[in-house]
Amino acid sequence: MDFGFSGKVVIVTGASSGLGRAIADGFAAEGVGALALHYHADRRGAEAAAASAQRLGVTAAAFGADLSVSGESEHLVGAVQEAFGRLDVLVNNAGAMVQRSPVADASDELFDKITALNYRSVFEMCRAAIPRLKASGGGAIVNISSSAARNGGAGHSVLYAGAKGALSTFSRGLAAELARENIRVNVVGPGLFDTPFHAEMTSREQLARIETTIPMGRAGRPEECAGPVLFLSSDRLAGYITGQSLEVNGGRLMP
Active-site residue list:
146, 160, 164
Q: What are the backbone dihedrals phi and psi of residue 221, each rounded to the nearest 5 degrees, phi first?
A: -95, 140
Q: Decide: residue 97, CB within 10 A, 0-12 exposed, 13-18 middle, 19+ buried.
A: buried
Q: Of 247, 176, 180, 170, which Cα lies nearest the Cα of 214?
A: 247
Q: Which residues, at least 6 apart from 118, have a Cβ–Cβ distance to it below 8 Å?
A: 95, 96, 160, 163, 164, 167
Which contacts (CB < 8 Å, 24+ apart) does range 164-169 have?
A: 164/95, 164/118, 164/119, 166/115, 166/119, 167/118, 167/119, 167/122, 167/143, 168/143, 168/245
Q: Enumerate helices (H) and strands (E) in the chain, giving the number of each.
A: 10, 7
